[in-house]
Amino acid sequence: MEGTILLTGASGMVGSAIYRLLENRAEIQLLAPGYHELDLTDQTQVDRYFSIHSPEIVLMIAARVGGIAANKADPVGFLSENTRIQLNLFEACQKHGVRKSLFLGSSCIYPRECPQPMKEEYLLTGPLEPTNEGYALAKILGLKLAQYYYRQYGMLTICPIPCNIYGTNDHFDLQNSHVLSALVRRFVDSQDNASSEVVLWGTGAARREFIHVEDVAEALLFMLQHVETPEPINLGTGTDISVRDLAHLVAELVGYTGDIKWDSSMPDGMLRKCLDVSRFDAMGYRPRISLRDGVTRTIDEYRERKRTGTV
């Protein structure tokens, strides 16, 4: 892989992991504009940036993301902002002759009652999970744009659909974070404050599949080199865990020994999300970082952020 690469969302968890892999490669000119340099929701800015810099490969990683609480509070924002980003980027890629691009999907686009494990052909076969419907609809639009631009203009965009991503450079805001980073913060803080109990949302029965962001970054670059179709491809470990068992794992690794209670008045979200990763497995790449090791790294990172006041 060589040439001028535009990486959007380079300050985020996935984007920063990709940036670390690409930043020192001599054969690559890496463009990684921040929000103040390029507002992806502004069509004029996006078109001007492409005109000036002429990227050959575009990694569409930037998105507005968040957990259940954030999605429920602002579905308009999640749908409209992500839709504008995607429309602007796809149009600019086609207009300026981008050689190849990558659009990062999300497993939340599968139907709420989807058969498990979820195969790519199950997309759009049933209603979405209501708690993140706005975000999911935007991501579905992105997948369809990739297919339409390929069919109409021959513009190739590959479309990985990852399971729940966690790890280095995640954020730990309890209102906006995803489940694993939220659990890490709750248990570390409770341990530090000598709290006798932790109260968590839902029943703990929901099951989720997790992949460390460093594995994701390597897998995305692998796919960029080996995939030549806009059809979606699942990216994950193929193994899930209940939120209850995950909470106990985090508590164990933190060293927290207090009570764990569940607030069943709060939503669980989709009851199970586990991907069928047979298409990706057939390419010969497998994630390297175990959940236990990845959670340990995340705990260490949060503790370091607390120590330095950078949470």
- Which CATH number does the domain housing residue 19 bear? 3.40.50.720
Mean pLDDT calculated for residue range 211-216: 98
Residues 193 and 51 in one domain: no
282 is in an annotated binding site: no
178 is in an annotated binding site: yes
Counting every residue written for the chain, the total comes to 311
Among residues 81, 152, 114, which one has the least CA distance to residue 274? 114
Residues 30 and 156 in one domain: yes
pLDDT at 279 over 90: yes
What DSSP string describes 71-115? HHH-HHHHHHHHHHHHHHHHHHHHHTT-SEEEE---GGGS-TT--
How much is the pLDDT for 196? Answer: 96
14 is in an annotated binding site: yes
Residues 215 and 94 in one domain: yes
162 is in an annotated binding site: yes
How much is the pLDDT for 91? Answer: 98
H-type helices in 40-74, by residue range? 43-53, 68-73
Q: In one letter, which amino acid is 54?
A: S
172 within some domain? no
Average pLDDT, the chain: 95
Mean pLDDT calculated for residue range 54-77: 91
269 is in an annotated binding site: no
Q: Which two tokens stand for residue 292?
A: 């236990």
Q: In one letter, which amino acid is 57?
A: I
Residues 130 and 82 in one domain: yes
280 within some domain? no
104 is in an annotated binding site: yes
How much is the pLDDT for 277? Answer: 97
Q: Tell me the C-alpha distance between 124 and 287, whole Å.
A: 27
Q: Which two tokens stand for residue 77?
A: 């924002």
Mean pLDDT calculated for residue range 277-293: 95
17 is in an annotated binding site: no
Residues 62 and 15 in one domain: yes
Residues 229 and 298 in one domain: no
How much is the pLDDT for 137? Answer: 98
How much is the pLDDT for 102? Answer: 98
191 within some domain? yes
pLDDT at 176 over 80: no
**In this structure, how many other beta carbons lie within 10 angstroms of the beta carbon of residue 102?**
22
How much is the pLDDT for 269? Answer: 80
12 is in an annotated binding site: yes
Residues 70 and 219 in one domain: yes
- In the structure, what pLDDT confidence band is assigned to residue 177 with cuts at 50, 70 and 90? confident
Residues 213 and 112 in one domain: yes
112 is in an annotated binding site: no
Structural domain boundaries, residue 260: 179-207+239-273+290-308
- In the structure, what pLDDT confidence band is assigned to residue 271 with cuts at 50, 70 and 90? confident
The catalytic residues are: 135
Contact assessment for residue 183 and residue 200, using Cβ atoms and an 8 Å cutoff: yes
Residues 92 and 146 in one domain: yes
27 within some domain? yes
What DSSP string describes the chain? --EEEEETTTTSHHHHHHHHHHTT-TTEEEE---TTT--TT-HHHHHHHHHHH--SEEEE-------HHHHHH-HHHHHHHHHHHHHHHHHHHHHTT-SEEEE---GGGS-TT--SSBPGGGTTSSPPPGGGHHHHHHHHHHHHHHHHHHHHH---EEEEEE-EEE-TT----TTT--HHHHHHHHHHHHHHTT-SEEEEES-S--EEEEEEHHHHHHHHHHHHHH----SEEEES-S-EEEHHHHHHHHHHHHT--SEEEEETTS---SSEE-B--HHHHTTT------HHHHHHHHHHHHHHHHHHT--
- In the structure, what pLDDT confidence band is assigned to residue 206 with cuts at 50, 70 and 90? very high
- In the structure, what pLDDT confidence band is assigned to residue 171 with cuts at 50, 70 and 90? confident
How much is the pLDDT for 72? Answer: 87
281 within some domain? no
282 within some domain? no
Total of domains in the chain: 2
Helix (H, G, I), strand (E, B) or coil at 137: helix
pLDDT tens profile 32-57:
999 999 999 999 999 999 999 999 99
User: Residue 303: which CATH number?
Assistant: 3.90.25.10
- In the structure, what pLDDT confidence band is assigned to residue 173 with cuts at 50, 70 and 90? confident
171 within some domain? no
pLDDT at 67 over 80: no
Residues 113 and 260 in one domain: no
Residues 111 and 203 in one domain: no
157 within some domain? yes
pLDDT tens profile 85-116:
999 999 999 999 999 999 999 999 999 999 99
268 is in an annotated binding site: yes
Residues 48 and 99 in one domain: yes
- In the structure, what pLDDT confidence band is assigned to residue 256 with cuts at 50, 70 and 90? very high
pLDDT tens profile 214-234:
999 999 999 999 999 999 999
How much is the pLDDT for 2? Answer: 84
